[in-house]
Chain A
Amino acid sequence: MPPVILVVAEVAAGHLARLSTEAATFARDLAAEAGGSVLGVIVDSDPGVAAGELAAYLPRVVAVTAPSIATELPAPHILTEVRRLVDEGVTHVVLGASVDGRDVAGALVAFTGWGYLANADSAAWSGEAPVMTSNVLAGKAVVHSTLATAKGVLTVRPMSVTAAEAGAVGVVEARSASGEPAIPAVVVLDRVTEGGAAVSLEEARVVVTGGRGVGSIEGFAVVEDLADALGGVVGASRAAVDAGWIPYARQVGQTGRIVKPALYLSLGVSGAMQHRVGMQNSETIVAVNKDPDAPMAEVADLFVIGDLFEVAPALAAEIRSRRS
């Protein structure tokens, strides 16, 4: 039987999350290889805009209005709608490997007993099942795995798939939420915005990152100024976060954010494997480091041996003078 692949999309600030455009592209390509069909579901208190955006990627989108999501975490409500679609014939569920995506995946695997393939970087259809490829052990190996069952759950790692719209716009089908979720609700009491760039690290075209070599909170002024000159946002290595120079929300790496900007420029970042996992898919990588043996040299397109406190201000000035 040809598979019916469901993409579970997420909403971020009223719009379709970037990761969901990647998951939708991943699922559509997989369905095409398998000779199966693909559809998407979006569950939100106000899913309209994001559902319209998802229809650019998929032939059919189910938009479920669940008013409770305005004041509760989404995962229990998403799970309920996904199970309803499973009852209607979905054989494979594809989610983004986000915090909410993993929560839905875990509960779905628990209730269905289906196989789970996590953090796919890519996948191909082979015979009766998807075969996925994923980086494991902090990027030291690539594993190929498959489902032994006819049905399953897959998550897609952020920034692994290049999102591409389908040629035609799909049909959006509006639904109301099915009712009380099967798993307990979690109430959202408050949503707090803390200082930070308006553009998130994941969305930024340019990311300028400071590491141990930055040396202090004050040292990050140099990183911020270069980011400003390049129109980018500031990131950090774990060493800089652990030292308390910059908040954890700015951390790039296995236990932080995964980014794939057009330019990743690192200042005083040694490039430990756990950091590289979070940035090695960047289109262009430039690194400035005093230490010629820093592991970042293994992935940098241009590696500059030098003092970041001299090179970064000079570069910021050079860029500003070329722009003016």
Chain B
Amino acid sequence: MRILVLAKPVPDTAVAAERMGADMRVDRTAAPNVVNGNDEYALEAALQLVEAHGGEVAILTMAPANGVETMRKALAMGAMRGVLVTDEALAGADVPTTIRALAAAAKTEEFDLLLTGLFTSDGGGGAVAAGVAALLGLPMLSGAAHIDPDPAAGRVKVRRLTDNGYDLVEAPMPAVISGTQALGTPRYPSLKGIMAARSRSIRQLSLADLGPDIAPADGAWTSTVLGFDPPPARTAGRVVNLPADAAAREIADFLADRRII
């Protein structure tokens, strides 16, 4: 099986807040980038599928040129090669442009499955995978908790989480699948993997390589960020430190005051 994993470098939210300027923008060159969490689960699922069925996992990323550093982390986990869409004219690209660029890049690859995370931890729009699937004319299976391909039959089954269980859905391959942490815990790269990742190839694609009409002229994006603010503070409440029975009465009184019980 050939699996293409769409993986986005995102600011590490654990430290991003400390690297915010006065205008609340994250300096993406200063804040360390990590592979988006949900994409890492998709990568783990891809590696396990290839271990079971044979084949190859490749990474597809759209990022500034330093995206290579984050891609090395994915290659160290076991992906065999990478494709990086990078172009100064794509800096700050909006969602429709991102969708067009990634769909055009995916067209340069042959794959049975295109896997990715359900959404990213930075923007979190969660629309790119479905947009790419739409432009490629492929079925979109979102919210996967388990992926079960049948390469001989050319079909894939996915467990899709619902409020009270899951739906078992099926489509022909190639297909696009998005998933979450229910796919399983990502492996840590081994030292051997980290060494091997250094020599794995990352093919770079510029806007010119992707064809015409991907990005609007002069960065005329369809949406604009006006500014950032700190989140509204929630006032900290009362703190009590009492023996358990007294604490229980205190909580019960508090809930009764608020007419919750």
Do A196 and B164 contact each other (CB < 8 Å), given the known contacts A116-B125, A148-B222, A184-B137?
A: yes
Contact of A259 with B by CB under 8 A: no
A183 & B223 in contact (Cβ 8 Å cutoff) = no
- Find chain B residues with CB under 8 A from A249 CB: 161, 163-165
Q: Is A138 an interface residue (CB 8 A)?
A: yes
Contact B241 A298 (CB under 8 A): no
| Interface residue tally for chain B (C-beta within 8 Å) | 93
Q: A106-B128, A142-B228, A142-B231 are in contact. Are A315 and B223 (CB under 8 A)?
A: no
Interface residues of A in 95-150 (CB under 8 A from B): 97, 99-100, 102-107, 109-119, 131, 135-149
Do B13 and A274 have beta carbons less than 8 Å apart? yes
Let me know if B226 and A314 touch, CB within 8 A.
no
Q: Does B236 lie within 8 Å of A109, measured CB to CB? A: no
Q: Which of A114, A139, A187, A263 contacts B222 (CB 8 A)?
A: A114
In the complex with contacts A137-B17, A262-B260, A113-B222 CB distance below 8 A: yes
**Contact indicator B20/A141 (Cβ below 8 Å):** yes
CB distance from B174 to the nearest CB of A (A): 10
Are B137 and A189 neighbours in the complex by a CB distance under 8 Å? no
The reply to whether the CB of B147 lies closer than 8 angstroms to some CB of chain A is no
Question: Among B123, B140, B248, B250, which residue has the most Cβ atoms of chain A within 10 A?
Answer: B248
From 281 to 312 in chain A, residues with beta carbon under 8 angstroms from any chain B beta carbon are: 284-286, 288, 292, 297-307, 310-311
User: Is the CB–CB distance between A102 and B258 below 8 Å?
Assistant: no
Which of A23-31, A48-56, A316-324 is found at the contact surface with chain B? A316-324
A106 to B139, CA, bound (A): 13
Query: Which of A110, A262, A311 lies at the interface centre, i.e. has the most chain B CB atoms within 10 A of its CB?
Result: A110
Contact partner of B127 (CB less than 8 A), chosen from A109, A248, A298, is A109
Q: Which residues of A contact B133 (CB under 8 A)?
A: 106-107, 183
**B238 contacts which of A141, A184, A301 (Cβ < 8 Å)?**
A301
Least CB distance, A258 to chain B, in whole angstroms: 12
Cβ–Cβ contact B221 & A146, under 8 A: no
- Decide if B169 touches A186 in the complex (CB within 8 Å): yes
Which B residues fall within an 8 A CB radius of A?
Answer: 11, 13, 16-17, 20, 24, 26, 37-38, 94-96, 99-100, 103, 118-119, 121-135, 137-143, 145, 157, 160-172, 180-182, 185, 220-232, 234, 236-242, 244-245, 247-252, 254-256, 258, 260-261
List 13 extra interface pairs beyond A106-B133, A200-B163, A304-B251, CB under 8 A.
Answer: A106-B99, A118-B123, A118-B124, A138-B13, A145-B226, A146-B226, A185-B171, A189-B157, A191-B167, A194-B164, A249-B164, A285-B237, A302-B250
Q: Which 7 A-B pairs have the closest CB atoms?
A: A106-B130, A115-B222, A118-B125, A106-B127, A110-B131, A314-B248, A310-B244
A-B contacts, 6 of them at CB < 8 A, read: A102-B119, A110-B103, A112-B96, A143-B228, A194-B166, A255-B181
Q: Tell me the A residues contacting B by CB distance below 8 Å.
A: 12, 73, 75, 79, 97, 99-100, 102-107, 109-119, 131, 135-149, 152, 155, 182-194, 196, 200, 202, 206, 230, 238, 241-242, 248-249, 254-255, 262-263, 273-274, 280, 284-286, 288, 292, 297-307, 310-311, 314-315, 317-319, 322-323
